Amino acid sequence: MKKHLLPLLAACMAFAGSTICKAADTIKVGVLHSLSGTMAISETSLRDALLFAFDEINKAGGIKVGDKSYMIEPVIVDGASNWPLFAEKAKQLLEEDKVAVVFGCWTSVSRKSVLPVFEKDNGLLFYPVQYEGEELSKNIFYTAEAVNQQATPAVDYLLAQGKKKFYLIGTDYVYPQTTNLILYKYLLLHGISLENIGGGLRKDDSGKVISAGKYTPFGHTDYQQIVSEIKQFAASGDACVINTINGDSNVPFFKEVAAAGLTPADCPVVSFSLAEDELRALPTKDLVGELGCWTYFMSLNTPENKAFLGRWDSWLKEENHPGVVKEKRAVDSPMVLSYDGAYLWKAAVEKAGSFDVDKVREALESETIYFDGPGGKITINKNHHATKNVYIGETRANGQFKIVKSYDQVFGEPFLLKGLDEKLAAK
Amino acid sequence: MKLPLVLALAVLLAGLTANPGTALAEADPVRKKLAEAILSEGGEQQQLLNELADTGSKAVVEILTAWSREGVFIFTSADNSKIPVILEEAEDSAGKRRALRIEDGQALRDSQGSELRFASSELAPADTDMRLRSVIQQALDTLALSMGAPDSRRSAALKLGNSQKIRYLPLLQNRLSKERNSEVRRGIEEAVALLELSGTDARTQIEAIRHLGQLRAIGCVDNLKSTIAKKGCAPEVIAAGKEAIRSIEDHIWWVNFFGTIFHGLSLGSVLLVVALGLAITFGLMGIINMAHGEMIAVGAYACYVVQNLFAAGFGFSVTLPFNFFGRPLHFGLHLPGINATGWFYETYFLFAIPMSFAAAALAGLFIERTVIRFLYRRPLESLLATWGISLAMQQCFRMVFGANNVQVNSPSWLLGHFTINDVSFGYNRVFVIGFAAVIVLATWLLLTKTSLGLLVRAVMQNRTMASCLGVRTARVNMLTFAFGSGLAGLAGAFLSQIGNVGPSLGQTYIVDSFMTVVLGGVGSIVGTVCSAVGIGTTDQVLQQTTGSPVTGKIIVLVAIILFLQWKPGGLFSIRSRSLD
C-alpha cells in the first residue's frame, strides 16, 4: 500500500510544482503615461487600452516563447505630465524593474525626454500618438500616425474637394510648428500660391521660411481677431482651415467659428488633435460637418471593429484595475494604436523566440510583423513606422465621425521635410 | 397629339413644385430621371444631370449629394435588372439598413414582398469618378442657387463665380432677375462680374472690374490681382484693376478698423464682467480675494446645472477618499429634469443668469461667514486663506462634475451674427456688451442711489467709525461680499457661452481680473470700467497691427507695468483720509 502511495504522492507534488512553476512565468512590461496633471485626461485612456490588451493576451494563454508561455505583468508608472520625470521613470522601468518593453508617452516633448534613456539602456518603446515625424530612434517603434498618414492625406482630400486657399492655425509648440511647415511646403508643391496660404509666415535672416501659420499659446481663449481674419480669407468661398490647436482652446475657437457663420460647407476646418475622446468634452453641436483624419474611427463599420468594441465593453464591465473609469467611454485612434502596439510586440517576440531587445527589433524590422487590428491591418516597416489605413471623417452631433474617405495601407514616412525641399528646389 | 404634351407639362410642373417634405415618398418623373442618370453613362448621363439641375427638387439634392459621396448603391435583382437605391440612415441591431429605391422612394422588397435590408458593404456603390463628381457638383450648385437660406444661396453664387466657367453666366443672370434678397443679389452680381472678368474681351473686363470695385467685393481681390498679373493683359484693364483693388483694400481697412473696435469693446466687456465682482471684494473691501476665479466657476457650473435641469436632469455621486469611522463616506444627488425641447429649452439661459448669481452669492456668503470675517484687518492672511479656499473649491468641482470640461450649449439666439457693410457682429459679443453695460449700471445705482449702498461705502471707508454710528458692519460686510461674489457668478454664466467650463476655469481669469482692477484704481468702479475697455481695445488693436495674438498681450502687460510705476494708484486713485 505504502509503496503505491509514495510515487503517487511524488507525482502529485511534481504536478503541483509544475503548475506553480508555470504560473510564475511572467514577463514585466512597462506602461509610462501621465496619470496626473494636464495630460492625464488623455493619457489615462491609453493605460486602459493597454491593460485591456494585456488582459486579453493573458487570457488567451500569454506570450509563447519556445515551448513556454509567459504572462504579461504590467508595471505602471506615472509620468505626471512632467517631462523630466518621464525620463526618470523610464530609467526606473529599464534599470530597476528590467521590463522587456515600454508602452507610453503622449506629447512629443515627453518622447524627446525619454529617448536618450532608451538609447543608453537599449530599451524598447512603443509610441502611439500622431506626431510631427523627423525622428527615428533604433529603440522606438512608432505605431503613431506620421504626418503623411494624417496631415497630407487630409490636404489631398481638401484639394480634391476643390479647395484653393488654406489657413494654418495651431498651438505654439513643436508638433503644430513642424506639421505646418511640412504642409506649407506640401501646398507650395501642389501649386497653391504663397498668398493663398493663410496665417502668416516667419522667415529667418536669410529669408528662409522657418514657421508658417498662426499660433496661439496653450489655453488661449480670445479668437475674435483670428476668426475674422479667417472670414475675410474665406470670403471667396474656396478656403479651408487646417487646425492643429491642442487641448481645450478648441472650444472657444469653434464657438467663435460658429458665431461668425463660417459653416463647413463654405470653409471646413480639419482638426488633427480632436479624436472621439476629446470630442466628449466639446460642444459637438457646433462642430457638425467639420473634418478629422485618423487611422482609426470608432464608427468604423467593419466586423473586426465591432467585435473589438464588444470585447472592450465587456472588459470594462468585468475588469477591476484601480482607477479605470467605466462610464461614457469612447475609443479613439491613440488608444487603438496602443492596443495594436501590444499585439505587434507580442508577434515580434514570438517570431524572435526571445524577449531580447535586439532580437525583437530584428523581428520587427523584418517587415513581416503585422496585426489585424480594429482599424485594419497594421504592419511595422523597417523604418520603425507602420503601414496602415487612413480615414477621413466628418464630425457628427453624437461625437462620432462619419467616414467620408479612406486611403488603404498608407506607408508611414517620418522624414518629409528633406524630400519636399528637394522637390521644391527642382521645381 | 396635344394631350400627351399637356400631360408632360403637368407632370413637369408637379416635379417643379414637389413639396420637399414629401418628396422622398413620391413617384415622380424627376426621380425616374435620377434613376436613369445613375444607370446611364457618358454624354447621356451628363445631359440628364444638366436637366436635373433645373428641377429645384430637394429630393434631387439629397440623392445627388449621396451619390457624390458613394452613398447610392446598385442592387442587381434576380432577373439581372439594376435598381439604384439609397440606404436609410437608421441601422437595425445587425447594422443593416432599409434600401429605398431612387425611382419612387419606396422600400426595396423581394418577391414575397418583405423589405430587404443591407449593410453598406454588401452592395456595390454606384460608380463615380472625378469628372462625374464635378458634373454632379455643378448640378448641385445650380440647385443651391435657387434653394435654401440666403446665406447658402449667396455662397452658391460666389462658388459659381469663382469657377471661372463662362457657361454659368446665363444661369446667374437668369437668377439675378428673380432674386429679391439684397445680400444674395450682391453675391450674384459679384459672381457675374467675376465670370465676365475671366473672359478675354477687354471692354467687358473693364466693366466687370469697375463693377467689382463698386461692389467692394472683398472675396474678389485675389481674382483681380491674378487677372492684372496675367501676360498680355491690356494696359487699360490693368489701370482699372489697380483702381478697383485700391478701393476694395480701402474698404477692407475700414472693415478691419470697425471690426477691431467692436472686438476691443467685446473683449473689454468680458474683462469688465469678470473684474467687476473683484472690484467690489478687493477694490472696496480690501480682501485680496484669490477665490474670485472659483466664484466665476460656480456661476458657470450653475449655468450647466440649469441647462441639465431643462433637459434630462442632473445627478452626481461622490465617494470621499477617506473613511469615517470605518465607513466610506458617500453622498449623491439626483434632480429630475423637465425634458424641455425647442424654444422652451433655449430659454434655459435666461433662468441660468439669476441662478448663477444666486449660487455664487450663496457660496460667497458661506465663505465670508466661515473664513473671511476673521481676516478683515489682515489682508495678507486673507490672500493665503482665499487661495486655500480656491484650491479646495477646484477639488470640489472635480469631485462633483468630473475633471473633464462640461458642455454648455449656447442657445440658438446667441449663435449667429449680423453683418453691416461687411463688418460682422456676433450675437454673443453684442450680448456681452449689453450685459456688461446693464450690470455696471445696476452696480453703480446700488452703490450710489440706495441706502444700502450708502452703508456699504461708509463701512468700507471706515469700519470703526461706521460701527460707532450704529451701522451693523458685520451684516454689511457679509452682504457686500455676497454681492461681489454674485457678480463673479454672472461672469461665469456669460463665460460658459464663449469658452470652456471646467474645474480650472477660474485660474484662466484671475490674473486678468486683478490686472483690470489694479490698473483702474483700487476701489473705483469707474476706473474698472475704463481700464477694462482700455485693455480690451488696446489688445485687439495690437493684435490686428502686429498680426500675433501673443505680442499684443505682452505689449499690453509691459505698458501696464510702466503705467503703474508712474501712477501706482491706477487710473482713478481714490484719495482717502482713512489711515489703513
Distance in angstroms (rounded) separating the CA atoms of residues B302 and B358:
9
Residue B540 and residue A228: Cβ atoms within 8 Å? no
Q: Residue B301 has what pLDDT?
A: 96
Distance in angstroms (rounded) separating the CA atoms of residues B468 and B183:
68
A282-323 tens-digit pLDDT: 777 777 889 999 999 999 989 999 999 999 999 999 988 887
Distance in angstroms (rounded) separating the CA atoms of residues B508 and B528:
19
For A222, which of B267, B409, B415 is closest by C-beta distance?
B267
Q: What are phi and psi of B328, to 5 degrees?
A: -70, 135
Q: Is residue A109 part of a domain?
A: yes
Q: What is the mean pLDDT of residues A192-217?
A: 90
Separation in Å, CA of B406 to nearest CA in chain A: 6
A224-236 tens-digit pLDDT: 889 989 998 988 7
pLDDT-based confidence at residue A1 (cuts at 50, 70, 90):
very low
CB-based contact B28:B14 (threshold 8 Å): yes
Q: What is the mean pLDDT of residues A179-184?
A: 94
Q: What sign does the CA torsion over A385, A390, A392, A393 have?
A: negative
pLDDT-based confidence at residue A16 (cuts at 50, 70, 90):
very low
Instruction: Choose among B277, B293, B266: nearest CA to B528.
Output: B277
Which helix (H) or strand (E) covers residue B527, if one does? helix B525-546
Residues 6+ apart with CB under 8 A from B439: B273, B276, B487, B490
Crossing angle, helix B235-278 and helix B505-520, to 10 degrees?
Answer: 90
Burial class (CB in 10 A: 0-12, 13-18, 19+), B421: exposed
Q: What is the mean pLDDT of residues B532-548?
A: 90
Residue of A nearest to B161 (CA): A236
| Radius of gyration of chain A, Cα coordinates, nearest whole angstrom | 24
Instruction: Choose among A412, A414, A381, A416: nearest CA to A149.
Output: A412
Distance in angstroms (rounded) separating the CA atoms of residues B199 and B166:
7
Burial class (CB in 10 A: 0-12, 13-18, 19+), A374: buried
In a mutational test of the A interface, the residue from B251, B271, B317, B404 whose CB has the highest number of chain A CBs within 10 Å is B404
Q: Residue B272 has what pLDDT?
A: 94
Instruction: Choose among A23, A62, A47: nearest CA to A355.
Output: A62
Q: Is residue A211 part of a domain?
A: no
At A126, which CATH number? Answer: 3.40.50.2300
Q: Does B407 touch chain A (CB under 8 A)?
A: yes
Q: Residue B321 has what pLDDT?
A: 65
Q: For all residues of chain B together, what is the average pLDDT? A: 84
One-letter identity of residue B132: L
Q: Is residue A163 part of a domain?
A: no
What predicted TM-score, i.e. pTM, was given to this entire model? 0.79
Entry field: residues in chain A: 427
Residue B121 and residue A160: Cβ atoms within 8 Å? no
Instruction: Choose among B276, B314, B305: nearest CA to B292.
Output: B276
CB contacts of A280 in chain B (<8 Å) are 404
Q: Residue B560 has what pLDDT?
A: 92
Q: Is residue A330 part of a domain?
A: yes
pLDDT at B402 over 90: no
Domain B255-566 sits in CATH at 1.10.3470
Structural domain span for residue A44: 24-147+300-390
Residue A236 and residue B498: Cβ atoms within 8 Å? no
pLDDT at A338 over 80: yes
Q: Is residue A291 part of a domain?
A: no
Q: Residue B22 has what pLDDT?
A: 43
pLDDT at A369 over 50: yes
Q: What is the mean pLDDT of residues B203-228?
A: 84
Helices in B279-312 by DSSP H: which ranges?
A: 292-310
Residue of B nearest to A213 (CA): B548
Burial class (CB in 10 A: 0-12, 13-18, 19+), A386: buried
Q: Is residue A137 part of a domain?
A: yes
One-letter identity of residue A369: I
One-letter identity of residue B401: F
Residue A266 and residue B155: Cβ atoms within 8 Å? yes
CB contacts of B159 in chain A (<8 Å) are 237-238
Long-range contacts of B346-350 (CB under 8 A, 24+ apart): B346/B411, B346/B412, B346/B413, B347/B411, B348/B306, B348/B307, B348/B309, B348/B310, B348/B411, B349/B303, B349/B307, B349/B411, B349/B414, B349/B493, B349/B497
For chain B, the structural domain boundaries read 28-131, 255-566
Q: Residue B86 has what pLDDT?
A: 85
Long-range contacts of B210-215 (CB under 8 A, 24+ apart): B210/B240, B210/B244, B212/B244, B212/B248, B213/B240, B213/B243, B213/B244, B213/B245, B213/B247, B213/B248, B215/B186, B215/B189, B215/B190
DSSP states along B447-459 = HHHSHHHHHHHHH
